[in-house]
Amino acid sequence: MSGISAMAIAGIAGAWEPPSARKVVDVGGAHGAFLSWVLGKSPDAVGLLLDLPHVLDSAKPAIAASGLAGRVECVAGDFFESVPAGGDLYLLKHIIHDWDDKRARTILSNVSEAMAPGATVAVVELLIPDDGTPSPSILMDINMLVMLSGKERTVSEMKQLFAFAGLALSRVVHTRSPFSVLEARKA
């Protein structure tokens, strides 16, 4: 997963500029690589890394090694229950694709409830082209079907998930990698 994360961040870095934020919340952020990259682009922001307790045990040394320990708070939690409130920017990298639509809606609804006014949620995923163009995301979709209950989605399907959570898709940033960034705000 760390290798895929590094590849995603490298692709994102050349195409997406994080929106201005004072508090960045990485939902299910594992070792905080994406959060660290965003905080590197936002020197005045602080970060909050939300993940399960056993994941945070290994995340804390990674955050310290990045030199961001003083700017990142690690919070144990379950994004199916709640998400820390008051963030200006919420990050979800490779989270939504792990889950079926019902669970994905729960996660996004919890994020929507927690968002500060004017906040943005940035979702990084592989997108299946709406027009059926061949894509590596289709192979990953098959993998998700076999291994987990999740799936890769089209932009149209992501719009529906956002709408259910009271969010509106504001922009899609395609990268030179297979990954895209979908930004949404409260509808």
- Domain ranges in the chain? 2-186
Q: Which amino acid is at 178?
A: P
pLDDT digits (tens, 9 = 90+) for 42-54: 999 999 999 999 9
Active site residue 97: yes
- CATH topology (fold) of 2-186: Rossmann fold (3.40.50)
pLDDT digits (tens, 9 = 90+) for 153-162: 899 999 999 9
pLDDT digits (tens, 9 = 90+) for 20-69: 999 999 999 999 999 999 999 999 999 999 999 999 998 999 999 999 99
Residue 139 CB coordination number (10 Å)? 13
pLDDT digits (tens, 9 = 90+) for 130-152: 776 666 655 555 555 656 666 77
Give residue 153's pLDDT.
Answer: 86
Q: Is the dihedral angle over the CA atoms 121, 113, 74, 151 positive or is it negative?
A: negative
Q: Name 138's bridge partners.
A: none
Q: Which of 31, 54, 94, 97 is catalytic?
A: 97
pTM: 0.91
